[in-house]
Structure 1
């Protein structure tokens, strides 16, 4: 497979200095940028998969009739938090 290039990027000199200041021994700025791009791609793919799974689960819960409205969940969690806080203030 042929390699390709990422377009060059003009940045403020301070940003370049900041990036260079965190390079590890033997690490190049281009290697740092490549790794950052790879990590961002992996993060965004995981985020998209997470959202897709959540939407599928939501639809399945609605179809099964076991869907709980978000406001009901938040209200229940708020009640649990209030109860926990009131118990702590008494000790």
Structure 2
């Protein structure tokens, strides 16, 4: 499959200099931009999935009438985390 190009964008010279100043050894501005876009795509996908799960959970709670207090959920999470840390410490 042929590769495609991303449209070029105009930026202020200072902004370009900032981007170039953080490049790692052997990293190009193009590879930096590609990595940044890839991470942004992944982050947006995860956000969309998180929102979808939240909406589904809300709908399920409305359907069943079963709700959980935030304090109870937080307590459960803290207990699970403590158990996990204790198990890893062994």
Q: How many residues align?
A: 71
The answer to whether the aligner puts 1:12 opposite 2:12 as a matched pair is yes
Q: What TM-score results when the alignment is normalised by the length of structure 1? A: 0.73
SS of aligned partner of 1:31:
helix
Aligned equivalents of 1:7, 1:59: Cα separation in 2:
40
Residue in structure 2 matched with residue 52 of structure 1 by the alignment: 52
Question: What's the CA shift string for 1:8-30, capped at 9, x where partnerless?
Answer: 11100000000000000000000
The gaps in structure 2 that reach 5 residues or longer are: 72-90
Aligned equivalents of 2:52, 2:2: Cα separation in 1:
32
Aligned equivalents of 1:54, 1:45: Cα separation in 2:
14
The gaps in structure 1 that reach 5 residues or longer are: 77-91
Runs of 4+, deviation exceeding 6 Å: none
Aligned equivalents of 2:12, 2:4: Cα separation in 1:
25
Aligned equivalents of 2:5, 2:65: Cα separation in 1:
51
Aligned equivalents of 2:21, 2:2: Cα separation in 1:
31
Aligned equivalents of 2:26, 2:39: Cα separation in 1:
20
Instruction: Say which one has the larger Rg.
Output: 1
Q: What TM-score results when the alignment is normalised by the length of structure 2? A: 0.74
